[in-house]
Amino acid sequence: MSKVSVVISFYNKIDYLRLVFAGFEAQTEKDFEVIIADDGSRSEIVSQIKEMSKNLPFNVNHIWQEDKGFRKNRILNKAVAAARTDYVIFVDGDCVPHREFVREHFINREENVCSTGRRVNLSEKMTSRLTAETIKNGFFEKNIFRLIVDELFRNSFDVEKGFYFKNSLLRKALNMKKRGLLGSNFSIHKSDLYKINGFDERYEAPSIGEDTDIQFRLELAGVKIKSLNNIAVQYHLYHKLLDRPQINLDLFDAVKVENRAFTPFGIIKPDKTVSMQDAA
């Protein structure tokens, strides 16, 4: 069995997934499984994922659901249930990991703690130049100053979050400030996630509310949020932002009023039970 499970949320963007896979091929920690949480990609995309998976050095489990609109939280819950390890790292299908990404998340794991890193937001120009081969050959790790120049010309941004530091004192200094959970870059024990019943499936629109919700409920359950700024680093591939409707924020306001950690709209439905073995 692998040490850790990596869940990649995904929908149709196969060219970006190739780049993300390249990032995971380059990891210094090799003992992990990948679960694709696919929110209804087209059949031809699914076929390409299966073909790509044959040549990867890690196991890929593709979890798919029918396309009925944005239902990311629902497929994430299915992916969590399918994970074969007790430690899960969550990334989005448009975020390429630094080569130390999996190792840092895993060695920094703690019971009752959710770890969250940050990401560099790449420009359209920088994204267009990337290939799977350049990523596997360490493009990001070798070209941080190239990214800085790109930010100076107001293209890429948050480039300072792409610096990876090994020094323990510097790490501590950079992570004294509390930071919010970033949905594309966090990790947690599966057993801790079951304390809140996973993701609330009522969030059916892309918005900040879904990340804020899970942090709020984790903290209600006594799970602390730990920052891995400049430790667990990733690079966000450019794309136009989706519309951010108000509905998620309205739902989160209701969740705050309820003040309840365990959602009935999560992994375990009211008419279902789960054994301790399944939750582990």
Q: Angle between the 14-25 and 43-53 helix axes, to the nearest 10 degrees?
A: 20
Q: Average pLDDT of the chain?
A: 93
Whole-prediction pTM: 0.94
SS3 232: coil
Which tens digits make up the pLDDT trace of 91-104? 999 999 999 999 99
Answer yes or no: are the C-beta atoms of 99 and 74 closer than 8 Å: no
Q: Read off the pLDDT of residues 42-52 as tens digits, 9 standing for 90 and up.
A: 999 999 999 99
- Cα separation, 64 vs 86, in Å, equals 21
In this prediction, residue 211 has a pLDDT band, given cuts at 50, 70 and 90, of: confident
The pLDDT confidence band at residue 276, using thresholds 50, 70 and 90, is: very low
Domain boundaries, the chain: 4-279
At residue 184, the pLDDT reads: 95
**Whole-number Cα distances in Å, 100 to 28, 30, 95, 231:** 6, 10, 14, 8
Spacing of C-alpha 278 from chain mean position: 22
- The mean pLDDT value for 132-155 works out to 91
Say whether domain 4-279 belongs to CATH 2.70.98.90: no
Please tell me the predicted confidence (pLDDT) of residue 280.
45
Strand ranges, E, within the chain: 4-10, 32-38, 60-64, 87-92, 95-97, 113-116, 118-121, 185-189, 224-227, 233-236
